[in-house]
Structure 1
Amino acid sequence: MTAITPPLIKVDIETTFSSDRSFVDEHSYVFSYTVHIKNMGTETVQLLSRHWFFENAYGKKYEVEGVGVIGEQPHIGPGEIFSYTSATEIDTPDGFMYGSYRMIKSDNSSFDATVEKSMLNMPRALH
């Protein structure tokens, strides 16, 4: 899923089911996700915080807010991409993740870069 938010921040997310960290019999499904945040604008921005929603297959939402990402509050220059990988757990084999990043520009004005819904899916084998 891709989103472009003024001032031109593009967010791409890749999700992967983590079978080695999940306990399916206990309804614990872990997904890793890699986020690529690209500054498509003409000035440097800084990522201050994140606000995520992780939603299971029944619409139950888990909310996560915090300072920065993976312990960082990166500055992202024009044309640069900041990427990181993290993980989440939900209690169904399918779900969604979405949210926003609070960003600040050099003039100290802030804005939210919206992250559109991305699917979380456990692969299934057909026999």
Structure 2
Amino acid sequence: MSEPTPAPDVRVDVEPSYHEDESSPLEDRYVFSYTVTVHNHSARNVQLMARYWKITQSSGQVQEVRGKGVVGKQPLIAPGQTFRYTSRAIIDGPVGFMEGAYTCVDTVSQRPFEVDIAMFRLSTPNQIH
């Protein structure tokens, strides 16, 4: 029996940003963008096939989002390369959290694998929390 192929070494970094000009605190509308960088540190091509996000609002309400690819793409990321994109989230208060996972495929073995996205904070400037 052969050993299972380990999942390729893929890492995700996220940098959120608050958009005060598009937000309306009086209407409980706080707009954020987040720039995601997917790093392929493996020796194989990987393709990002699907996304899962768990968004925790300031109110405590949780929203789950699942979909094919990211920003309308299912990018193929070559060894040593990165893929970067920016998306948005609108939450109901000045502080929220996002976390999730990408489903990717090793293009050699055709085996899917998950890449966890660590929880990150969406917060307006000067929040003490």
4+ residue runs over 2 A deviation: none
SS in 2 for 1:20: helix
Q: CA RMSD in A?
A: 1.2
From 90, 113, 125, the equivalent of 1:123 is 125
- Which protein shows a greater Rg? 2
**1:73 corresponds to 2:74:** yes
Give the residue type in structure 1 aligned to 2:96: G
| Offset, 1:58 | 3.9
Where structure 2 has 5 or more consecutive residues not aligned to the other structure, the ranges are 1-6
Q: Which residue matches 1:16? A: 17
More strand by percentage: 1
- Residue 101 of structure 1 aligns to which amino acid in structure 2? Y
Matched-pair identity in %: 39
In 2: Cα distance, 1:59 partner to 1:109 partner: 36
1:34-53 map, 5 Å: 34-53=35-54
Paired position in structure 2 for 1:110: 112
The letter for the 1-side match of 2:76 is: H
Letter in 1 for 2:122: L
Counterparts of 2:119 and 2:112, CA distance in 1: 22
**Quick check: 2:98–2:122 contact (8 Å CA) kept in 1?**
yes
Name the counterpart of 1:83.
Answer: 84
TM-score, L = length of structure 2: 0.89
Distance 1:117 1:74 in 2: 23
Report the Cα offset of residue 57 of structure 1: 2.8
Superposed displacement of residue 7, structure 1: 2.0
TM-score scaled to structure 1, two decimals?
0.90
Aligned residues: 120
**1 CA distance for matches of 2:94 and 2:63?**
15
